[in-house]
Amino acid sequence: MNRLEDKVAIITGATGGIGEATVDLFIKEGANVLMVDLSEDELISVSNKIGSNKLSYFQGDVTNASDNQRAVELAVERYGGLDIFVANAGVSGDVSSITEYNEEVFDQVMSVNAKGPFLGLQAAIPFMTERGGGSFVAISSIAGVSGASLLAPYVMSKHAVVGLIKSAAKECAEMNIRVNSVNPSPVETKMMRILEDGMGDLSEENDPKTQIEANIPLGRYAEPDEISKLILFLSGDESQFITGSVHMIDGGSTA
């Protein structure tokens, strides 16, 4: 316990499954946490559920540069600095062929999943540098290292996250800012329910979840708290010599 004592963290997509689990774990480990998400009602709900005076929130859009800047400034104003930024916000987009894919949905997927982490890192770097360093963790996916039929924009966006963390790790090393990605296989979250519904519309075979789990050697989806534990490790001092790394947490899917 207390592995993040006196650390200051921003977590985007904080009201989703992985986000909420990470917020809860970070608070238990002693961090001061600023949650960022679109829905104030959901932010209030998570705040009330966790119930900590080390927790606050900012209603913002990760695709907006000024919102990212404001979030970082708020963390510094409220807690005195910034040590950790977890770029977790993400959307799945549609389950659709390349030829039929809606351009507006494509733009949203790329903006949230790829532009969002870039803008977050851009805003965080100066304040982490003032602090003497920090850790930036971006949530990618197994789709960040392999392809997936009918999910091309999502796959593109998650590959982009991997490109970002590898480039940023080299650029930020001299500032003692470590940059890594966490790449889960399917997780028990609302996002997977959306993807399963989309797949179900295109298939009359076994239910989508059964089909997906059949391709995971451990035979199940990950739980959000299992992902949060890896995020914790990469955020804290136990991973001081790890940067530019892609961390698979996929039940053996990419083995």
Q: CA-to-CA distance for 255 and 253, rounded, in angstroms?
A: 6
Catalytic residue among 57, 79, 154, 221: 154
User: Cα dihedral sign for 195, 197, 203, 206?
Assistant: positive
pLDDT number for residue 197: 81
Strand ranges across the sheet with 246-249? 55-59, 32-37, 8-12, 84-87, 134-139, 177-184, 246-249
Q: pLDDT tens digit string along 225-247?
A: 999 999 999 999 999 999 999 99
Query: What is the predicted pLDDT for the residue at 201?
Result: 60
Catalytic status, residue 57: no
Domains in the chain: ranges and CATH: 8-187+224-249 (3.40.50.720)
| Residues of the chain falling short of pLDDT 70 | 201-206
Two tokens, residue 8: 């200051």
| CA atoms of 57 and 44, how far apart (whole Å) | 8
What does pTM read for this prediction?
0.95
